[in-house]
Amino acid sequence: AAKRQGRNRFHYYTPAMHEAATARMRLSNDMHVALADNQFKVYYQPIVELATGRVCKAEALIRWQHPRLGLVSPAEFIPIAEDTGQIIQIGDWVFRQAAEQAVHFRATHHPEFQISVNTSPVQFKADTENHTPWFAYLKELGLSGQSIVVEITESLLMETRDEIGAQLLALRDNGMQVALDDFGTGYSSLSYLKKFDIDYLKIDQSFVRNLMPSSNDMVLCEAMIVMAHKLGIKVIAEGVETESQRKLLKQIGCDYGQGYFWSKPVAAEEFEKLLTR
C-alpha cells in the first residue's frame, strides 16, 4: 500500500508486489532470447462466415513456449513487451509469420483468405512511415494487402496523436483492412467510428458469453450490429462457444463468428487439417 503525507510519499512494497515485479523483469529478460531461440509460435483460430459456415479468415495469436515455465499466456507477456518496447520486434515477427501463412492458405485453400493480426498501440510510433517495412515485405511475397486484417484496440484510437489516423490510412492505402478488437469494453466507442475508417467491429466475448433470447446482451449485440452495418462495417462476434450463441448471432445478422464452438487457436499444420475437413 502507498501512503501520502503532505509532501512526503511513502511507498510500502509488500513481498507479493516485489515478487510480481521480479517475475516481470525475469520474463522481460527471457523475451530477449525468445525470438532468436524460436520460442514463439503463431497459432491460428478460424473466423467463420455465419451465412455459409465457411472458414474465410483466421486470427493470428502468439504463443510463447518458455523453456522453464512452459506455455506463457500473451495476456501475461504482451503488456510487459509493451512496457519495454519489445513488442515492436515481436509484432513485426508475428506480421511476417502471418503474411507467409496467408500466401500458403491463399494457394491451398481460398484465394481471398485473410489473416488478422493483433497490434499494440506501441506499434504505432510517431513516424507515419512506420509500417513501410510491412508493405515492402508484402510486395516481396507477392501478396496483396487485402490478405491482412490489422486488429487495433480502442486504446489506440483514444490517443490524440494526429499520426494515428495517417498510419491507419497508410495501412488501408496498401490494401489492408482494419478491425476494432474487443469492441464495447472501452470508452466512448461511437465517436471513433465517425473519425476513423474501420472495416470490422469485433464484438467482445463478454457480450457473447451469456447471450440468450431477449437478454440485455442480445439487445446490445443487435444494436452494435445494426449500427455497424449502417456505417458499412462488418461484424465479427468473439468467444462463440455454443450452437445456441451461433444461431442467435446469425439470426440478428452478425456477419462472422470466432470461438471454441468451431475451434481453439491451433498451430498452422493443425489449422490446415481444419480447412480440409
Give the Cα separation of 93 and 109 in Å (integer).
23
Give residue 199's identity as a one-letter amino acid code. D
Tell me if 151 contacts Mg ion by CB under 5 A: yes
Contact pick of 48, 181, 233, 257 for Mg ion (by CB under 5 A): 181
Size of the site for ligand C2E (CB under 6 A): 23
Question: Rounded to the nearest whole angstrom, what is the least distance from the CB of residue 252 to ligand C2E in the complex?
Answer: 18
The answer to whether the beta carbons of residues 115 and 105 sit under 8 Å apart is yes
Question: Rounded to the nearest whole angstrom, what is the least distance from the CB of residue 82 to ligand C2E in the complex?
Answer: 8
Give the Cα separation of 107 and 113 in Å (integer).
9
Question: Rounded to the nearest whole angstrom, what is the least distance from the CB of residue 262 to Mg ion in the complex?
Answer: 16
Cell 491451433 maps to which residue? 266
Which one-letter DSSP state was computed for residue 145? Answer: G
For residue 130, which of 104, 161, 97 has the smallest C-alpha distance? 161
Would you say 145 or 259 has its CB closer to ligand C2E?
A: 259
Coil/strand/helix, residue 133: helix
- Which of ligand C2E, Mg ion, none does residue 239 bind (CB under 5 to 8 Å by kind)? ligand C2E
Other residues' Cβ atoms within 10 Å of the Cβ of residue 90: 22
Give residue 264's identity as a one-letter amino acid code. K
Would you say 95 or 113 has its CB closer to ligand C2E?
A: 95
Coil/strand/helix, residue 232: coil
Other residues' Cβ atoms within 10 Å of the Cβ of residue 25: 12
Question: Rounded to the nearest whole angstrom, what is the least distance from the CB of residue 191 to ligand C2E in the complex?
Answer: 22
**Segment near ligand C2E (CB under 6 A), from 73-81, 106-114, 124-132, 266-274?**
73-81
**Segment near ligand C2E (CB under 6 A), from 15-23, 118-126, 217-225, 226-234?**
118-126
For residue 100, which of 131, 134, 66 has the smallest C-alpha distance? 134
Restricting to residues 6-25, which ones interact with ligand C2E according to CB under 6 A?
Answer: none
Give the Cα separation of 160 and 231 in Å (integer).
23
- What is the four-CA torsion angle of 277, 211, 232, 181, rounded to 10 degrees? -80
Tell me if 182 contacts Mg ion by CB under 5 A: yes
Question: Rounded to the nearest whole angstrom, what is the least distance from the CB of residue 202 to Mg ion in the complex?
Answer: 5
Tell me if 78 contacts ligand C2E by CB under 6 A: yes
Restricting to residues 167-226, which ones interact with ligand C2E according to CB under 6 A?
Answer: 181-182, 205
- Contact residues: ligand C2E, CB under 6 A: 45, 61-62, 73-75, 78, 91, 94, 118-120, 181-182, 205, 238-241, 258-260, 265
Which residues here bind Mg ion, judged by CB under 5 A? 118, 151, 181-182, 238
